[in-house]
A and B are shown apart, each in its own frame.
Chain A
Amino acid sequence: QVHLQESGPGLVKPSETLSLNCSVSGGSASSASFYYNWIRQSPGKGLEWIGHIYSSGSSTYNPSLRSRVSISIDTSKKYFSLKMTSVTTADTAVYFCARKGGSRGEPLDYWGQGLLVTVSS
C-alpha cells in the first residue's frame, strides 16, 4: 500500500521560503513512471494545483505560481520536495502531496493527509 506523508514547518514568516517534503512509502519516488504533485487548499477555499515532478525529474508548475515555486525529487531517500519563495499571508493553506500514474487519464490516487502551513510574523 502506497503512503504519502507531508512534513515541514507549520509556521513561516512573510517574505521567507516555505520548504516541505513528502515521503513516499510502499513504492519509491523514483520508481516506475509517476507524477508527484503538490496541491494546496486555503482555509475555507477550494483545491489549487501547485505543480508536479515526473519520476525522471522534469517538472511543470501552475502558471500563477511558477515564478516562486520549485519541486525536486530525491531518488535515494524516497521523497520529493516543494520550495515556495517570498511567501505572503495568501500562501497560508493546507498543503497536500499526491501521486498520479504516468499514463493519460490516470488519477491522483494516493494523497498525504495534508499539512497546515501558516504564514505569519
Chain B
Amino acid sequence: SYELIQPPSVSVSPGQTARITCSGDALPRQYVSWFQQKSGQAPLLMIYKDNERPSGIPERFSGSSSGTTVTLTISGVQTEDEADYYCQSVDRTNSYRVFGGGTKLTVL
C-alpha cells in the first residue's frame, strides 16, 4: 500500500524556522495538504495544493515541493505552533486518500 513518510519529531526554539518533510513516490503528480492538530482537537487545514494557504492561516506557514518530497516550513516559530502536523495526498492511482504518519513539532 502507498505510504507518505514523515519524520516522527522536529524540535526548534521560538523564532527559529521549522521544516517538516513528507515523502512519497506519487508526490510529483499529486497535490499535498498539510494539517495541524492540537491535543483533543480536529485537524486544521494549513496548506493545500502544495503551497496554497487558506484564509486565516498566518503567513509564517508555507509549503513547497521538490520531486518526491514536499516540505511544510514554519518561519519564526511561536510556542502556539507546537502540535502534530500531518501531510495528506492521494495514492498512485488517484483513488485513495492517504495521510502521513504525523510529525510532532516541539517548541523548546
Contacts and interface: CB of A to CB of B under 8 A. Distances in A.
Interface of A: 37, 39, 46-49, 52, 60, 62-64, 96, 104-109, 111-114
Interface of B: 1, 31, 33, 35, 37, 41-45, 48-49, 54, 86, 88, 95-102
Which of B31, B42, B102 gathers the greatest number of chain A CB atoms within 10 Å?
B42
B42 A111 contact: yes
A106 B100 CA distance: 18
Contacts of A46: 86, 99-102
Contact of B48 (A47, A62, A105): A105
A112 B42 contact: yes
Contacts of A114: 42
A121 B103 CA distance: 34
Contact of A109 (B45, B96, B101, B102): B45
Contacts of A106: 48
Contacts of B101: 46
Contact of A47 (B1, B45, B86): B86
Which of B33, B96, B97, B99 gathers the greatest number of chain A CB atoms within 10 Å?
B97
A107 B42 contact: no
A40 B10 CA distance: 24
B88 A108 contact: yes
25 contacts: A37-B97, A39-B99, A46-B86, A46-B99, A46-B100, A46-B102, A47-B37, A47-B43, A47-B88, A48-B99, A49-B97, A60-B96, A62-B96, A63-B1, A64-B1, A96-B43, A105-B31, A105-B49, A107-B33, A107-B54, A107-B88, A108-B43, A111-B43, A112-B42, A114-B42
Contacts of B86: 46-47
A99 B90 CA distance: 15
A107 B54 CA distance: 10
A39 B102 CA distance: 14
